[in-house]
Amino acid sequence: MEKDLSNYRKSYEKNELLKKNVPENPMELFQKWFYEVDRFFPEDENNAMTISTIGLDGYPKSRVVLLKKYTFEGFIFYTNYNSEKGKAIAKNPNVCLSFFWHGAERQIIIKGKTEKIAENLSDGYFESRPRGSQLGAMVSNQSEVINNRNVLETKLLNFEKKFEGKEIPRPKFWGGYIVKPIEMEFWQGRPNRLHDRIRYTLQKDYNWKIDRLSP
């Protein structure tokens, strides 16, 4: 099998990113960019982000998760703590997040350290989820091998009967993580592959060093 993709080309010409115009804190720029892409491209799932971890086998692995909240402290998402990513984070909390907003020709790459959020915060978010999503979290032993989909459907029916008319508690193996950034790079596509790249690096005094990178 072979397919030559060398002629797949696109010229990026929608915007610019200049060091003199960026704020001192990268979370302010993240908020500005997120607001813009969410406003102009509402049909996209703009909170979808790729998280890369170092697996127990030593290999990096990336997958898409959904950002559910961001603050000046970091980026929050939810998952099964016993999943492949959860086990990887428990061993090595250093991760990389990335957003690619193709409509805006923008990318953000974030290096950070991951921590579990407080249990009451996970409880609050779990309570806000649709009932089907709550049951789904209980049903799935995420990343474990199963024989067929019937296994999931049967477990779902059993849990539906068990919690019929009752409140569904958050499973202890499911909850939130916050990724606290130590480096954030903002990438804006430009013509001739001379893209704008601005990198923020957290310093020991908790201020951010700002550099422009060559594309």
Please tell me the predicted confidence (pLDDT) of residue 85: 97
Please tell me the predicted confidence (pLDDT) of residue 65: 98
Measuring CA to CA, which residue among 13, 34, 32, 17 is closest to residue 212? 17
Please tell me the predicted confidence (pLDDT) of residue 187: 98
Superfamily of chain region 19-128+173-213: Electron Transport, Fmn-binding Protein; Chain A (2.30.110.10)
Please tell me the predicted confidence (pLDDT) of residue 162: 93
Beta pairing, strands 208-213 & 196-202: antiparallel
Q: Are 76 and 178 in contact (CB under 8 A)?
A: yes
The full DSSP string for 16-73 is: ---GGGS-SSHHHHHHHHHHHHHHH-TTS-TTEEEEEEE-TTS-EEEEEEE--EE-SS
Which residues are known catalytic residues?
193
Please tell me the predicted confidence (pLDDT) of residue 209: 98
Please tell me the predicted confidence (pLDDT) of residue 190: 94
Per-residue pLDDT for the chain (215 aa), expressed as one digit of tens each? 998 888 888 888 899 999 999 999 999 999 999 999 999 999 999 999 999 999 999 999 999 999 999 999 999 999 999 999 999 999 999 999 999 999 999 999 999 999 999 999 999 999 999 999 999 998 988 888 889 999 999 999 999 999 999 999 999 999 999 999 999 999 999 999 999 999 999 999 999 999 999 99
